[in-house]
């Protein structure tokens, strides 16, 4: 891994920057947070623009329609996206960041040619149907049942916390195919067509007012056997591949956004009056913000290592859990400090700059739960990185 950028890297940066400065102003205004049809259209329009310019799937291999960019180019691309204030993946999160990469690693040639191009062009949106009411951290306890009937699986059960389910065309679905096997050995990974008969999507509203999650109910839903990814009952192993992408590299855009929030918070602190001066006069505040900036910078370098490794081996390593855990913690610290800096202006969700930080603080709470909670990441790091004894089953 070389942390410096070479001349060709800088040329690539200039090319991306020029394209972004032309493309971003062409986007229509961003729709409201609860107008999901408009949000899907906006996010997929941007994806189409990236696609047509040759930037879709920046780190996907070119044989699968991606850009085949080097790890460094991938990072430069993400830096420039954030710098330009361009959209990140939006509703294409699952498809681009972990469903597509899972299909590249584990899918059949037919699955790759059927699904990957439409993820890249933004024509098809994916969601993830893993969690169930009784299976979150202990995902292997999942009960949604699939029974083979000719050339279809017949699925019955329920998923929950399915982000973007109400705007998705396909889903990553984990089902139990052998209830008599040990729990990790009876699971299968299926491609779920969201328009199949017998699927009911019920949107949920979170305490933060967001409507991105749904419950998904399955009644005799027929899914063709050709939609199975990996072998029957080998779905746990395939799910670990999905998680390695989800925990390993999917949060990189988030990290860059947090770095930007640090700068914006410093600017706000210089303006907000406190005592005879401003919040910025408080050396304690400056020190805390400096620590957070340093931690984020450290995580950026860890990211470079993870991405370099992932692109060499095809799948990110266990470093993803270290990153996810540390990032969640620093994100909480940033959110808490933001609220202390903002003081009473934190109550306003209307004011642009302050609202960004308040939303960021609420969002921080979900980061330490999504894609596996911090406690679970600690267990993984303890057992698989540090070699500590396994927790009792
Ligand atoms: C923003 C967001 C988006 C999400 N999107 C999706 C999605 O698209 N698709 C999907 O399938 N799921 C999604 N989820 C669900 C997410 O994967 C689960 O919420 C998560 O795995 C935790 O499961 P749970 O909510 O059932 O909590 P539980 O598993 O019930 O955990 C409750 C608490 O107990 C702790 N705990 C549990 N087991 C242990 C243990 N062995 N050791 C120590 N502590 C433990 C947990 O850390 C947690 O603090 C999303 C969640 C969030 C917040």
CA 105 to chain centre: 18
Instruction: Tell the residue nearest (CA) to atom 37 of ligand 1.
Output: 137
Per DSSP, helices labelled H in 134-276 are: 235-248, 252-271
Span from the CA of 364 to the centroid of ligand 1 (angstroms): 14
Span from the CA of 371 to the centroid of ligand 1 (angstroms): 7
* Predicted local distance difference test score (pLDDT) of residue 258: 92
Q: What are phi and psi of 57, to 5 degrees?
A: 55, 55
Q: Is 106 a known active-site residue?
A: no
**What number does the ligand 1 atom closest to the CA of 165 have?**
8
| Whether 185 contacts 202, CB under 8 Å | no
For the Cβ of 44 lying below 6 angstroms from any atom of ligand 1, the answer is: no
User: How far apart (Å, rounded) are the C-alpha atoms in residues 78 and 67?
Assistant: 14
Return the C-alpha torsion angle 281, 284, 289, 294, nearest 10.
130
Using alpha carbons, select from 377, 292, 368 the residue that is nearest to residue 333. 292
Report the residue among 373, 383, 388 best suited for mutation to probe ligand 1: largest number of ligand atoms under 8 A from its CB: 373
**What number does the ligand 1 atom closest to the CA of 366 have?**
53
Span from the CA of 104 to the centroid of ligand 1 (angstroms): 26
* Predicted local distance difference test score (pLDDT) of residue 351: 61
| Whether 82 contacts 72, CB under 8 Å | no
**pLDDT tens-digit series, residues 330-348:** 999 999 999 999 888 777 6
User: How far apart (Å, rounded) are the C-alpha atoms in residues 390 and 43?
Assistant: 42
**In the predicted model, what is the mean pLDDT of the chain?**
91
Q: Say whether 113 sits in a helix, a strand or coil.
A: helix
Buried/exposed code over 238-247 (b: 16+ C-beta within 10 A; e: otherwise): bbebbbbbbb
Among 246, 295, 309, 311, which one carries the catalytic annotation? 246
Q: Is the pLDDT of residue 266 over 60?
A: yes
| Whether 306 contacts 317, CB under 8 Å | yes
Please give the model's pTM, rounded to 2 decimal places: 0.91
How is residue 345 written in tokens? 């202006």
Span from the CA of 238 to the centroid of ligand 1 (angstroms): 19
Using alpha carbons, select from 392, 212, 241 the residue that is nearest to residue 315. 241
Return the C-alpha torsion angle 154, 134, 365, 202, nearest 10.
40
| Whether 114 contacts 223, CB under 8 Å | no
Percentage of the chain modeled with pLDDT above 90: 70
**pLDDT tens-digit series, residues 205-234:** 887 777 889 999 999 999 999 999 999 999
3-state helix, strand, coil in the chain (%, to 5): 55, 15, 30
Q: Which residue has the tokens 């996010």?
A: 43
For the Cβ of 210 lying below 6 angstroms from any atom of ligand 1, the answer is: no
User: How far apart (Å, rounded) are the C-alpha atoms in residues 40 and 38?
Assistant: 5
User: DSSP letter at 391?
Assistant: P
**What number does the ligand 1 atom closest to the CA of 139 have?**
21
Span from the CA of 265 to the centroid of ligand 1 (angstroms): 30
**pLDDT tens-digit series, residues 171-215:** 999 999 999 999 999 999 999 999 999 999 999 988 777 788 999
Instruction: Tell the residue nearest (CA) to atom 24 of ligand 1.
Output: 136
CA distances from 18 to 15, 44, 52, 81, 232 (A): 5, 21, 15, 11, 48
For the Cβ of 57 lying below 6 angstroms from any atom of ligand 1, the answer is: no
* Predicted local distance difference test score (pLDDT) of residue 249: 66
């Amino acid at each position: 891994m070389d942390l410096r950028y070479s001349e060709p890297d800088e040329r690539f940066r200039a090319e991306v920057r020029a394209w972004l400065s032309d493309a971003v102003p062409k986007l229509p205004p961003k729709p409201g947070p609860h107008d999901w049809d408009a949000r899907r259209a906006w996010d997929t329009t941007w994806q189409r623009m990236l696609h047509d310019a040759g930037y879709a799937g920046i780190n996907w291999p070119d044989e699968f329609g991606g850009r085949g960019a080097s790890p460094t180019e991938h990072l430069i691309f993400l830096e420039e996206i954030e710098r330009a204030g361009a959209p990140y993946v939006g509703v294409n999160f699952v498809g681009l960041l972990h469903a597509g990469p899972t299909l590249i690693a584990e899918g059949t040639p037919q699955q790759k040619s059927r699904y990957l191009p439409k993820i890249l062009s933004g024509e098809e949106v994916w969601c993830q149907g893993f969690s169930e009411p009784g299976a979150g951290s202990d995902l292997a306890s999942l009960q949604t049942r699939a029974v083979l009937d000719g050339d279809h699986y017949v699925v019955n059960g329920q998923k929950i916390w399915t982000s973007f389910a109400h705007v998705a065309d396909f889903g990553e679905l984990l089902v139990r195919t052998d209830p008599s096997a040990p729990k990790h050995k009876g699971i299968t990974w299926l491609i779920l067509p969201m328009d199949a008969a017998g699927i009911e999507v019920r949107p949920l509203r979170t305490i933060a007012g967001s409507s991105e999650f749904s419950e998904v109910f399955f009644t005799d839903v027929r899914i063709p056997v050709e939609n199975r990814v990996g072998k029957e009952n080998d779905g746990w192993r395939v799910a670990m591949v999905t998680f390695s992408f989800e925990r390993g590299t999917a949060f990189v855009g988030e990290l860059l956004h947090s770095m930007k929030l640090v700068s914006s918070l410093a600017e706000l602190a210089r303006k907000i009056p406190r005592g005879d001066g401003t919040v910025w006069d408080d050396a304690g505040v400056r020190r805390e913000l400096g620590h957070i900036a340093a931690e984020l910078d450290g995580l950026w370098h860890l990211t470079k290592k993870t991405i370099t490794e992932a692109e060499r081996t095809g799948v990110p390593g266990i470093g993803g859990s270290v990153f996810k855990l540390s990032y969640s913690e620093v994100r909480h610290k940033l959110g808490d400090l933001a609220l202390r800096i903002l003081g009473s202006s934190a109550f306003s969700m209307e004011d642009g700059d302050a609202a960004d930080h308040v939303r960021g603080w609420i969002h921080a709470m979900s980061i330490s739960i999504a894609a596996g909670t911090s406690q679970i990441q600690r267990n993984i790091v303890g057992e698989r990185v540090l070699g500590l004894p396994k927790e009792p089953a």
